[in-house]
Amino acid sequence: MITFILTLVTALGITPNHSGATNEAKINQNYLYQHWVMSAKEAKKGIVEYCPFQVADQKNIAARVKYSGIVFEKSGQLLKYRWRKSSVNRGPSYDKYKWSWKKSQEKAILNIASKIGKGQNYEVIELSKNKLKIRLIGRR
């Protein structure tokens, strides 16, 4: 019976799939470098979902959320924008942080450094042209 199953698996070209393996089709780091805004309607159970700034109007995201958000730069710098209702100059409209990316066979980890402490680690669940989905997994 085992020989039959192995023969069938080989003939069909089925390969074992580790359920914890990083899904390359769902995580493309090249799409990270843009302005992301939180899509609160799509976030659930500790998973935060972001969409690109350009599609915020299509998703009916409020202006206070649309004009905030995060921008990842290739230099390893992250800009976290805050909403400003008025044009009164009260300092920069963003804070600067450092970020790093680690990818293992099991998952992709995004670390965003903090001004106090060593930052937070997020598991990247999905990263595509129109979606960044992350889950907080711990503070460093």
User: What's 44's DSSP letter?
Assistant: B
Question: pLDDT tens-digit profile of 98-118?
Answer: 999 998 888 999 999 877 777
Question: Could you give the angle at the alpha carbon of 117 between the alpha carbons of 124 and 64, nearest 5°?
Answer: 60
110 phi/psi in degrees, rounded to 5 = -110, 120
Inside any domain, residue 14: no
The yes-or-no verdict on residue 133 having pLDDT over 90 is: yes
Q: Indicate yes or no: pTM above 0.75.
A: no
Inside any domain, residue 9: no
pLDDT of amino acid 6: 37
pLDDT of amino acid 91: 59
Inside any domain, residue 2: no
The yes-or-no verdict on residue 12 having pLDDT over 60 is: no
Question: pLDDT tens-digit profile of 79-96?
Answer: 999 887 666 666 568 899
Question: pLDDT tens-digit profile of 21-48?
Answer: 455 668 888 999 999 999 888 778 889 9
Inside any domain, residue 122: yes
**Nearest Cα to 127, choosing from 53, 58, 24?**
24
Inside any domain, residue 117: yes
- Tell me which residue range forms the domain holding 115: 21-84+91-139
Q: Please report which confidence band the pLDDT of residue 17 belongs to, taking 50, 70 and 90 as the band edges.
A: very low
pLDDT of amino acid 114: 78
Give the separation between CA 84 and CA 113, rounded to whole angstroms: 24
Q: How many domains are contained in the chain?
A: 1
